Chains A and B, each alone.
Chain A
Amino acid sequence: MPGNGADTPDGARRLVRHALADRLLHWGMAISTLILLGTAFLPILGIEFAWVTIHWVSGIVLTVLVIVHTVRASFWQDLRSMWVDRADLRNTLQLARWNLRMSARPPGLPGKYSLAQKLIHHVFTVVGLAAIVTGGLMMVKIDTPWWDRNPYWLGEDVFGVIYVIHDLAALALITLVMVHIYFALRPEKLHFTRSMFLGWITRREYNEHHDSARWAVDAE
């Protein structure tokens, strides 16, 4: 492996993977998403409580966090680190060949994020935005501190489509959250999970799991 510093004292050195602001955004989005799922599905499953206010307030919190994350990722971070590039596709092809025993050569290392991490991020983005936009439109039907409800703002047929998209997004989030948590708890991924709590990975982990040519990292 190129530049493997696993056996050197330098291997334990901490490198920044997620800044504090990004970790707070991640956990804020995670908590608000879980509250949204809980307030959406628990009443359907028979656990009844006054869920509407908690649901739309959490939706607004999630919307604000997503906007802040988008602005921060666009102007203060390297947006390309989340973009699927040719090297990802090349590595995926090689991964398939390696798994099918068509090649003895393992695939190359990813940059900051693997293709799987990029894809689940993008699916979360599409599904989350669908839920946020439709949820925002549905809010015209409830009283808020900013406006009185107006159930006739859009026709019932249009609201029907909005409900379907919102429900589909919510249902898809069940699957996505399950898969996301499963991979976060996989033994070989725990250093990623730790970095989402504490912010850092070690130089050893960096050398073992990342291509330094694709992700230049800062020391803590």
Chain B
Amino acid sequence: MELFRVSRDVWGQEVLQGMSWDLIPFFFGAGAVLILCHLVYRWLLAPKGQPK
């Protein structure tokens, strides 16, 4: 997986164009994992009378 998008200028040198869009699923997945972890924590691990 590429981390960055690059192109080449008229002299053939690499030019940074930004972050790779292959990372979109990673950041979406990170959100989903955080949500899932909190759901599991609340359902299975949190003590009774958890502060709200």
Contacts and interface: CB of A to CB of B under 8 A. Distances in A.
Contacts of B51: 95, 106-107, 109
B47 A208 contact: no
Interface in A89-117: 95, 98-99, 101, 106-107, 109
Interface residues of A, number: 32
Interface residues of B, number: 25
Contacts of B35: 178-179, 182
Contact of A106 (B17, B28, B49): B49
A175 interface: yes
A161 interface: yes
A162 to B, nearest CB: 9
A24 B13 CA distance: 48
Interface of A: 41, 44-45, 95, 98-99, 101, 106-107, 109, 156-157, 160-161, 163-164, 166-168, 171-172, 174-179, 182, 188-189, 208-209
Top 6 nearest A-B pairs by Cβ distance? A160-B16, A178-B31, A163-B18, A167-B19, A188-B52, A175-B31
29 contacts: A44-B21, A44-B24, A95-B51, A98-B47, A99-B46, A106-B47, A106-B51, A156-B15, A157-B15, A157-B16, A160-B16, A163-B16, A163-B17, A163-B18, A164-B16, A164-B18, A167-B19, A171-B26, A172-B27, A174-B24, A174-B28, A174-B31, A178-B28, A178-B34, A179-B31, A179-B34, A179-B35, A182-B31, A188-B52
